[in-house]
Amino acid sequence: MHWRFALLTAALASTACATNPVTGKSQLSLVSESQEIEMGKEAAQQVAQSIGFYKDPAIQSYVSGIGLKMARASERPQLPWEFNVVDDASVNAFALPGGFIYVTRGLLSSITNEAELASVVGHEIGHVTNRHTVQQISKAQLAQLGLGIGMILRPELQQFGGLLSSGLGLLFLKYSRDAENEADLAGFRYALNQGYDVRQMVNLFELLEGVSRLSGGGKLPEWLQTHPNPENRLQRVEQRLDTLHRDLSNAVVNREGYLNRIKGMTYGEDPRQGFFRGNTFLHPDLRFQLTFPQGWKAQNTPSAVVAMSPGQDAVIQLGLAGQTPPTQAARQFLSQQGVRAGNSSTENINGMPAASSYFAAQTDQGQVEGLVTFVSYRGTTFGILGYTAAGNLSRYDQVFRQSILSFRELTDPAALNVQPAKLELVPVDRPMTLRDFNQRYPSSIPLAELALINGLSGENPDLRPGRLYKRVVGGLARTASGE
């Protein structure tokens, strides 16, 4: 047995157990409640800074009101519960230790009624009351090393200038299937106790599975990437409903009221925060563009834009580095523990002052080599980092340089003026199919996705007269494949 693993095992074996407040069962407890709250507060600050909240006070208050009613009636009412909507296109919700809970605007724009929202929020409350997030903390500390450059470089390198994500590992972890079942049960109970029609949980889980199939996108993971789908989840919900012995005919669904709350909401990725045109990344608000190598898999994450080579042996990453002048930023980067500087230079990149240096670094996975460049543009310094395993730099040197030298001002009026897609509501006054609806009121999303966000199933479902239905207008039109 490796000695570090042996020490870890011994430490865990000696840790005191606590009682799960919901199930009454004994569970491993690595932290106290006060520590749990402090960890949650720190992570909540990082969420606000790195992802940001959806700028609609009315929708924030609406979601918070639903969540607080359920949380204050839960087994842990004393926690400093907070509920927020984050500005991300993915369909997800997540809970941080201590009662800090978030839903994405992507989720809000995809569900169809308040009962479904209550089911999601109740599920996340259930993760906190069952202390599932506390159980994930030790895993999260390891997962933080797997974000952005942290996949390869030492944690010390995460201290520099906002280039890297730090502390958001909780958002990228999976709960166990047992934890998901416990959260489902708790969420069912919390929503039921607030008078919601818990039959809507069936529709909710069908939606989440459909979203996973369509891979709607976003900077954060989708629901099923962080909440694994337990076997027979829908069957368990239906069994609970069969044994409920309660009349749900007057339970709260609130479809029309909910839809009117989300009318005009941004739908999908907000191109104002950056979008890809082929392998070129364009950012209208910051007015720059950068071209990544052809065939590399690129993603716009909350903290950086990252591209990985087809062989997964090289990375190029673009991030903000504050207002530090390029030469000073380079010195700070190269002075970090574990980093060894190579040839350095100062230059202009498309008329912008820049400082570059080759470097080598010792990591937990071995030596890496790379090229880092800091560019000053419109009062902000950008860091562009290319790195690969030691011995591979000669293979990727020119690739890194070409990408770095592509950083330039964005001048294309069409890109500068692009606007996000928005949700509109259409009252249907006569029988029609979804295809008829889409021909009469065209949407900028594929038909299958339009069906999904309206809670419809089947190849060409019928719409009910007298109801409101969503459509999506504007934004970057997408094909049936979502590209």
pLDDT at 162: 34
Angstrom distance (rounded) from CA 234 to CA 211: 16
What is the per-residue pLDDT across 217-257, written as a single tens digit (0 to 9) for each? 667 778 888 888 887 888 899 999 999 989 999 999 999 99
Among residues of the chain, what percentage have pLDDT more than 90?
66
What is the per-residue pLDDT across 361-386, written as a single tens digit (0 to 9) for each? 987 667 899 999 999 999 999 999 99
Q: How confident is the model at residue 304 (pLDDT cuts 50, 70, 90)?
A: confident
Is residue 482 predicted with pLDDT exceeding 80?
A: no
Is residue 58 predicted with pLDDT exceeding 80?
A: yes
CB of 343 closer than 8 Å to CB of 354: no
Please state the rounded mean pLDDT for residues 451-461. Answer: 93
Q: What is the largest CA-CA distance in the chain?
A: 75
Listed in sequence order, the residues at least 6 apart from 234 whose beta carbon sits closer than 8 Å to its beta carbon are 202, 205, 206
Q: How confident is the model at residue 478 (pLDDT cuts 50, 70, 90)?
A: low
Bridge-based pairing state of the strands 266-267 and 275-277: unpaired
* Domain range 421-473, its CATH number among 3.10.20, 3.10.350, 1.10.3470, 1.10.10: 3.10.350
Is residue 5 predicted with pLDDT exceeding 80?
A: no
pLDDT at 63: 98
Angstrom distance (rounded) from CA 443 to CA 401: 41
Residue keyed to tokens 């730099």: 393
In one letter, which amino acid is 198? Answer: V
117-131, 209-223, 275-289, 329-343: which range is least confident on average? 209-223
Q: Which residues pair with 427 in a beta bridge?
A: 468
Please state the rounded mean pLDDT for residues 246-269. Answer: 96
What is the per-residue pLDDT across 388-423, written as a single tens digit (0 to 9) for each? 999 999 999 999 999 999 999 999 999 999 999 999
Domain assignments of the chain as residue spans, ordered by start:
3-267, 282-414, 421-473
Please state the rounded mean pLDDT for residues 291-307. Answer: 90
Residue 171 is encoded by which pair of tokens?
A: 């958002």
pLDDT at 248: 95
pLDDT at 132: 87
Residue keyed to tokens 């880092």: 372
CATH of segment(s) 282-414: 3.40.1000.10
- Report the mean per-residue pLDDT for the chain: 85
Angstrom distance (rounded) from CA 323 to CA 341: 22
25 vs 69: which has the higher pLDDT: 69
Q: How confident is the model at residue 171 (pLDDT cuts 50, 70, 90)?
A: low
C-alpha dist (Å) from residue 285 to 13, 46, 214, 244, 472: 52, 22, 28, 52, 23
Please state the rounded mean pLDDT for residues 454-467. Answer: 94
